[in-house]
A and B are shown apart, each in its own frame.
Chain A
Amino acid sequence: MNAFGVTDLVVRYGRLTAVCGVSFTVPPGRIVSLIGGDGAGKTTTLRALAGVVAPAAGQVRSPGKAGIGYVPAGPGVYMDLTIEENLAFSGHAYGVPAAVLDRRIGALLAATALSPARRRLAGALSGGMRRKLALAMALIHEPRLLILDEATTGVDPVSRAELWRMIAGAAARGAAVVFATTYIEEAERAFHVVALERGRVLLKGSPEGIVASIPGRIREVRERPQGGIAYRRGQGFRLWDPKSGDEGIRPDLEDALVIAALKARERAA
Chain B
Amino acid sequence: MTSPRGDRAVPTGTATQAAGDAGVAEARALTKRFGDVVAVDRVDLAVGAGEVVGLLGANGAGKTTLMRLLLGLMPVSGGWVALFGMAPSRATRRRVGYVPQGLGLYEDLTVAENLSFAAAAYGVPVVPPPDLGDVAETRVRDLPLGIRRRVAFAAALQHGPELLVLDEPTSGVDVVARSDLWDTIRTATERGAAAIVSTHHMDEASRCDRLVLMAAGRVVAEGTLDRIIGRERTVVVHAEEWTKVLEAVGSAGLSAALVGTTVRVHGAAPEAVHAVLERAGIDAALELVAPTLDEVFAGLVAGGWRPERGDDRR
| Cα separation A207 to B262 with both chains bound (whole Å) | 13
Query: Given A37-B146, A38-B145, A157-B200, are A189 and B173 also a contact pair (CB < 8 Å)?
Result: no
Q: For chain A residues 211-269, which have a beta carbon within 8 Å of chain B?
A: 231-235, 254, 257-258, 261-262, 265
Residues of B contacting A254 with CB < 8 Å? 175, 203
* Range class of the A interface residue count: 35 or more
| Cα separation A105 to B261 with both chains bound (whole Å) | 28
Tell yes or no: B207 within 8 A of A by CB: yes
Nearest Cβ distance between residue A219 and chain B, in whole angstroms?
A: 16
Tell yes or no: A26 within 8 A of B by CB: no
Instruction: Flag A162-183 by CB within 8 Å of B: 1 or 0 each.
Output: 0011011101100000000011
B176→A261 contact, CB < 8 A: yes
| Cα separation A248 to B186 with both chains bound (whole Å) | 23
A36→B298 contact, CB < 8 A: no
Nearest Cβ distance between residue A267 and chain B, in whole angstroms?
A: 14
Nearest Cβ distance between residue A200 and chain B, in whole angstroms?
A: 13
| Cα separation A163 to B11 with both chains bound (whole Å) | 49
Instruction: Flag B161-185 by CB within 8 Å of A: 1 or 0 each.
Output: 0000000000111111101101100
- Interface stretch, picked from B17-25, B52-60, B151-159, B278-286, is B52-60
Residues of A contacting B138 with CB < 8 Å? none
For chain B, the count of residues having a C-beta within 8 Å of the partner chain is 46
Q: Which of A31, A127, A172, A182 contacts B173 (CB 8 A)?
A: A182
Tell yes or no: B108 within 8 A of A by CB: no
Query: Given A164-B257, A191-B261, are A37 and B298 also a contact pair (CB < 8 Å)?
Result: no
A258→B209 contact, CB < 8 A: no
Q: For chain B residues 27-82, which have a beta carbon within 8 Å of chain A?
A: 56-61
Of chain A, the residue at the smallest CB distance from B185 is A232
Instruction: Flag A115-127 by CB within 8 Å of B: 1 or 0 each.
Output: 0000000000011
Residues of A contacting B250 with CB < 8 Å? 165
Tell yes or no: A128 within 8 A of B by CB: yes
A232→B182 contact, CB < 8 A: yes
Q: Which of B59, B176, B179, B207 contacts A156 (CB 8 A)?
A: B59
A38→B174 contact, CB < 8 A: yes
Q: Which of B171, B173, B209, B297 contacts A153 (CB 8 A)?
A: B171
Tell yes or no: A158 within 8 A of B by CB: yes
Residues of B contacting A168 with CB < 8 Å? 246, 256-258
Nearest Cβ distance between residue B181 and chain A, in whole angstroms?
A: 9
| Cα separation A40 to B202 with both chains bound (whole Å) | 22
Residues of A contacting B59 with CB < 8 Å? 126-128, 155-156, 159
Instruction: Flag B196-234 by CB within 8 Å of A: 1 or 0 each.
Output: 000011110011010000000000000000000000000
Query: Given A168-B258, A185-B202, A233-B179, are A39 and B58 also a contact pair (CB < 8 Å)?
Result: no
Of chain A, the residue at the smallest CB distance from B170 is A182
Tell yes or no: B247 within 8 A of A by CB: yes
Residues of A contacting B206 with CB < 8 Å? 234
A231→B179 contact, CB < 8 A: yes
Residues of B contacting A35 with CB < 8 Å? 175
| Cα separation A37 to B203 with both chains bound (whole Å) | 14
Cross-chain pairs A/B with CB under 8 angstroms, 23 sampled = A31-B258, A37-B177, A38-B144, A38-B145, A39-B146, A126-B59, A126-B60, A154-B171, A155-B200, A156-B61, A157-B293, A158-B297, A160-B294, A161-B255, A164-B257, A185-B292, A231-B180, A232-B180, A232-B186, A235-B186, A235-B209, A261-B175, A261-B176
Beyond the given pairs A158-B297, A160-B200, A182-B172, 17 more chain A to chain B contacts, judged by CB atoms under 8 angstroms and listed by A's residue number, are: A38-B144, A155-B59, A157-B293, A157-B297, A157-B298, A161-B257, A165-B256, A171-B258, A172-B242, A183-B201, A185-B201, A189-B257, A190-B260, A206-B260, A232-B186, A233-B207, A234-B206
